[in-house]
Amino acid sequence: MRASSTSSPSTPVPTLSPLRTRTALLALALGGFGIGATEFVAMGLLPQIAQDLLPQVWAASSEQAIAQSGTLISAYALGVVVGAPTIAAAVARFPRRRLLVIFTAAFTIGTILSAVAPTFELAVVARFIAALPHGAYFGIAALVAAQLMGPGKRGQGVALVLSGLTVANVIGVPLITALGQQSGWRVAYLAVTAIFAAATLAVALLVPEQQGDADATIRRELSALRRGQVWFALGIGSIGFGGFFAVYTYVAPLLTDVAGLAESVVPWALVCVGVGMTVGNFVGGVLADRGSLRAVLRMFPVFILAMAGLALTASTPVTLFLFLFLVGALASAISPAIQTRLMDVAGESQTLAAALNHSALNIGNSMGAALGAAVISAGLGFVAPSWVGVGLAIAGLLLALASLAVERRSQRGGPTAEPVLVADADVEDAIVEDAFPTPVHAS
């Protein structure tokens, strides 16, 4: 039996003019822009970082040095995984704008530490520290945006916040990557620091105050982790989405070593991925509002085919760019669907649910980067991470199908039934019936 839909009990936001709402959403997206830049700029600068921080390893083997420098990406992802649930659960009751300002200021400090780290080991620690507010920022910003957007547009509100991250991959990451190639990777991270400083000011001035959930406690927020469907959603995000990061982490050597393109082409490839992510993000937001699990089930098979196409045609520049666009678009379209699904099944633990998505995706980030490094270190070449991505995405699809099967059994009152709180029960009923129609028996 389904429980009724539950919303956050925070104080309603006064009605805002359309202009005021748009500027508030843009301020939230600017924070996401900075996060996208700090998370993804390393992807195109791994060779420069490896040469600077691992000179002895580089002299012996550039492949080994690049693979080892992927640890920086895994460290950032691990910071998100640790920070998202712990920070989000602890601060759910506090005013949201104040929290967002604190988070953007923390990003500013953490990125400066990354830029000035004198050794590889300290750079790894700095990336971990810089990542701690990542999930909590996106989680709370998603709740603010959903309230600003109004009923029935939660997925689109999530997508608007994530749009800063995707636009960063169109504009910020390629430009900062080019800057890093010309002036050094440290200068690139200083540029990201400036973006976070601007975001701190924008959030403080433009985002209206929203009260947190006065009844929230750490225990209540963490109670979401007792729900089986929450774990299914986390598994779909962490394992299935890991395929994207297996590809994206090593995009620079894929272009230069496999396709034989010049290093100067790498920023253009990042633009291609970023445009795909931006398009996919907004499409995914609309699809999520029509049924989050249905969106996941429909997009994963195409995502798998896109990564397989990339692996098979990576040596041809035209098809390489085409499949990079498709991989970026499909991965980004899946993200708001997974976040909306988590919010659907988490009951009253909405702050934690909104943040847990980013823990899941960054487990995927860490897993994809690490498995990609493993196959490269094993001598399988720079195409091998794409095949790792295919395998991870297949596993994510299987988890989504398992989630649907369990939910169907729950709706029928089976022994594993558990309450599922969703935004639109009719939508989720339609998902189940579409995938597993009830047989009609002749009398």
Summarised one tens digit per residue, pLDDT across range 232-258 is 888 888 888 888 888 888 888 889 888
Stretch 347-370: mean pLDDT, rounded?
A: 77
The string of pLDDT tens digits covering residues 256-302 is: 888 888 888 888 888 898 889 888 888 887 787 777 888 888 889 99
Pair of tokens at residue 193? 């620091």
The one-letter amino acid at 341 = R
- 96-116 vs 185-206: helix crossing angle, rounded to 10: 170
pTM (2 d.p.): 0.68
The string of pLDDT tens digits covering residues 371-426 is: 888 888 888 888 999 999 999 999 999 999 998 888 888 777 654 444 444 444 34
The one-letter amino acid at 291 = G
In angstroms, the Cα distances linking 243 to 64, 318, 365, 396, 415 are 21, 22, 8, 9, 34
DSSP 258-319: IS---GGGHHHHHHHHHHHHHHHHHHHHHHHHT-HHHHHHHHHHHHHHHHHHHHHHTTSHHH
The string of pLDDT tens digits covering residues 198-214 is: 999 999 999 988 876 66
d(CA 14, CA 95): 15
The label of the residue with tokens 């986390």 reads 234
Q: Where are the domains of the chain?
A: 18-435
Those residues with Cβ within 8 angstroms of residue 291's Cβ, 6 or more apart along the chain or in another chain:
424, 427, 428, 430, 431
The string of pLDDT tens digits covering residues 293-302 is: 888 888 899 9
CA-closest candidate to residue 51, choices 39, 68, 37, 38: 68
Position 88 pLDDT exceeds 60: yes
**In percent, how much of the chain has pLDDT > 90?**
28
HSE at residue 360, side-chain half, CA atoms within 13 A, is: 29
Question: Where does 18-435 sit in CATH, by number?
Answer: 1.20.1250.20
The label of the residue with tokens 């440290």 reads 186
SS3 404: helix
